Structure 1
Amino acid sequence: MKKLIYISLVFLILSGCKEMGRIDFIDDQAGPPAPVEVKAVKNISGGAIITYKIPEDRNLLGVKAVYTRNGEVVETKGSIYVDTLRVEGFGSANEQEIELYSIGRNEKLSSPVSVKVSPLAPPVQVVKFDVEAGFGGVVMSIDENKTNADLSLVLMADTLGDGKYLDMQTFHTKSGKIKFSRRGLSVRPTKFAMYLRDRWNNVSDTIYRDLTPIEEVRIPSDLFRNAALPTDYFVTAENSSGYRLENLWLGSDASTPGDFFASSHSGPMPQWFTIDLGRKVTISRIQKWPREGMELYSSTAPRTFEVWGSENPNPDGSFDDSWFLVGEFEQFKPSGYGEGREVGPVSDEDRDYWYNRTEFDVVPTEKATDPYRPLTHVRIRVTSTFQTFGTETNRSQVIIAQLAFWGQLVN
């Protein structure tokens, strides 16, 4: 009985404590905290990192920086557990004055400590960018965004020829190096303009270009067929016709489960297959869709591959002079791969690119000196999947939901 009473009392005490919750003592009568002591300033692109010594005060809540950015007074706050504050978003390299305050738990502020910073030129002034004519439209590029700043590329065009540039499309990226394509434009001389904008609405100078998009059409797939040359590998997973090669051009862009090509689970690497296009064409780009629900940038999706073309492939299936190299490609990842080429974290931009924008532009290279030659057959040679890339593994399954080819029809 005594034991039962003891347990009940403990329960009541604990319950009472839970109901009372946490009590934080705030002394409204306490004076303002002592000011911080600035120790160092590191100027960065468009801002600065200020290091300071936090005053010893049990009533201290944190520190804040107050400054003017683009004509507006803004604040940046830090807790008592850090000794740096980052001020950013300045649109020039002009000297800026920052005021630092210690904040008490009663929200009283210390006297301000003024510090001057000299930001380096902001990303919109130093990042290189350009726009040029491309197949079906124009190609916009960002190069050497070493700050990995969150930037927008704003494309404009004088479509009516009246000297008025209207916004055409805006692309957002944090990538250090990337290209965007705007397709579906008329094949006629057009005046284009483009500028960079950051998230604080700082903008770069505007560049102007007179460009003529190059004609490009999606190659009709009505005559596509599996060429099934002797050295090709198109053995399907579980030998199921549900994963046949023809799904690459008969499936939907959305790629519903089961509507994709999947080779056997332990096929040789590299492995390749050949598609007879049924007509003579030139290829300017390749689109690829992954299997819906496949883990991003991983597993059996192609990481690196080659594209070969031929007008009259050798019937023995060999890679001889009847074939020419269209291009060597690697799955692009907007946020970039790690120093050791590992995948690393996957961003929202990576996710969008993986499912919606994976394209491979055909361009002349040292190995592919004339990639726009007419062809009737395309051979896809997968040299690695994400599963085998950087390893000594020479066997893997390959899964692709759909392929599409763009270019020009040759009469």
Structure 2
Amino acid sequence: MVKNISYKNRYIMKHLFKTISLLFALLLVISCTDVEKAQFATDSTAPGIVSNCNVINGAGKALITYDLPTDEDLLYVKATYKLNDGTNMEVKASAYINELEVVGFGKAAEHDITLIAVDRSGNESEPVVVKISPADNPIYEIFSQMKVTSDFGGLAFNWENKERVDITITVTTPDEHGQMITAQNFYSNSKIGQGYIRGYSTETSETEGRRFAVVISDHWGNQTAIKDSLYFPIYETEISSDRYAKYIIPGYGDPGRYNSSSDWPKLWNGSWGTNNDHYHTKVGLSSPINLGMNLGRLVKLSRIKYYQRSGGSKWQYLYAHGNPKRFRVWGTPTTDGVQLDITEPGNDWILLTEFTSVKPSGLPLGSTNADDQQLGGLDGEDVLIPIDAPAVRWIRLEVLETWGGVTDFVHIAELTYYGKEETN
């Protein structure tokens, strides 16, 4: 009996000691935290002002440098100002740096920037007003130099964005009632940009034309003038697959087929979206894999619709496995008297374009969402061909990378060609 009581007491004492130790450690942490928080006592004394302010004006922005006040409890410096349209703006800079940037201005003009120092008690210094004179926002130069030309099915755009600012290019066109509606928005911060609008050509669009309006805006609501003009979209049609045929690329060989249900004609049978409706090469090919097609006619191509093997309702192959992610499209108008052996340096294949497939969701390998399924599996991606590319009859796809990382086979659900058939 005594032995049992002794054991119980030791057990209680042991756990009581652990509890007291934990409480002591917790109190120590709280105490240290309170000391840290109380490092600067709350007061009502305003900090000093910033001084020796200097301005470096930029395009639609300005950098302001200054000397900080010497207050030990200084927390940050804030700048308040108005944009061209009257929008109130505020920018804050830490007490550990002596500069801040004010952004969002439109056309060149003088602006007042109010600088205020703020301490840890929330006290604000007397304001200091600095005048800045930023140059025109970059969108105006981009707009003035942007080239807009008639293209297959619509328009082609080329622009230079030297400052790499975020821009939105909005293109509108009349609907059937004559009301201007958005045809497409381009979002970009690339130094060199290009874009295309398709789907607006008719049998008479090359002669009668179609109205398009273009405007550029930025994140801050600044907007250029509107370029409203008549353009002449080149008529494009889907090229009939009635003469399509397999073409074996010289110097590469026959990529074959995986089985009888995934043979070449599946590439152009006008059907996709099921697991078995695709072309699949044999396994064990050398990389980069080369696929060849004979369109059966000379074609001035505008684009190729690329549909991925989806895996049916489970979508297990979409943006995965052997679906091409990056490839080059080559072409030739003839096979007579030209060097098409790809092992020969300086062969006569003509590079039409290089394409990189984009997964809208950005989800990791093995995961897709509705946007991915709609684009890659149902609507297809547009592989755009520049308008200055020559007319061709034979096509070579050089697969540089697959979504699943495999290198010895590929599979594609469908390739649909668009453009204009040329007269031989």
TM bucket (normalised to shorter chain) is 0.7 to 0.9
Flag the structure with larger Rg: 2
1:379 aligns with 2:405: no
Q: Distance in 2 between matches of 1:35 and 1:104?
A: 11
Cα 1:39–1:316 change in 2 (3 A) is closer
Q: Distance in 2 between matches of 1:316 and 1:194?
A: 44
* 8 A Cα contact 1:274 1:380, kept in partner: yes
| Residue 272 (structure 1) aligns with | 290
Residues 11-410 of structure 1 correspond to what in structure 2 (within 5 A)? 11-15=22-26, 23=34, 24-25=37-38, 27-38=41-52, 40-69=54-83, 70-127=85-142, 128-141=145-158, 143-158=159-174, 165-185=180-200, 186=202, 187=205, 188-221=208-241, 223-228=243-248, 231-235=251-255, 239=258, 245-246=264-265, 248-249=267-268, 261=280, 264=283, 267-269=286-288, 271-278=289-296, 281-288=299-306, 292-294=318-320, 301-310=325-334, 318=341, 325=349, 327-331=351-355, 358-364=382-388, 371-372=390-391, 375=393, 378-382=394-398, 384-385=400-401, 396-397=407-408, 399=410, 401=412, 402-409=414-421
Root-mean-square deviation (CA, aligned residues, Å) is 4.3
SS of the counterpart of 1:267?
Answer: coil
* 8 A Cα contact 1:140 1:179, kept in partner: yes
| Residue 367 (structure 2) aligns with | none
Cα 1:251–1:8 change in 2 (3 A) is farther
TM-score by length of 1: 0.73
Residue 274 of structure 1 aligns with an amino acid whose one-letter code is G
List alignment gaps of at least 5 residues for structure 2: 1-9, 310-317, 359-371
Q: Distance in 2 between matches of 1:116 and 1:333?
A: 48
SS of the counterpart of 2:23?
Answer: helix
Q: Distance in 1 between matches of 2:111 and 2:276?
A: 56
SS of the counterpart of 1:52?
Answer: strand
Residue 179 of structure 1 aligns with an amino acid whose one-letter code is Q
Q: Distance in 1 between matches of 2:277 and 2:98?
A: 54
Residue 88 of structure 2 aligns with an amino acid whose one-letter code is V
SS of the counterpart of 2:221?
Answer: coil
- Please state which structure has a larger fraction of its residues in helix: 2
Match of residue 7, structure 1, among 10, 14, 18: 18
> How many residues are treated as equivalent by the alignment?
369
Q: Distance in 1 between matches of 2:381 and 2:165?
A: 21
Q: Distance in 1 between matches of 2:138 and 2:171?
A: 18
1:259: Cα distance to partner? 5.0
Q: Distance in 1 between matches of 2:382 and 2:152?
A: 16
1:382: Cα distance to partner? 2.1
Deviations 1:76-103 (A, max 9, x none): 1122344331211101121222111111
1:332: Cα distance to partner? 6.0
1:122: Cα distance to partner? 0.6
1:115: Cα distance to partner? 1.8
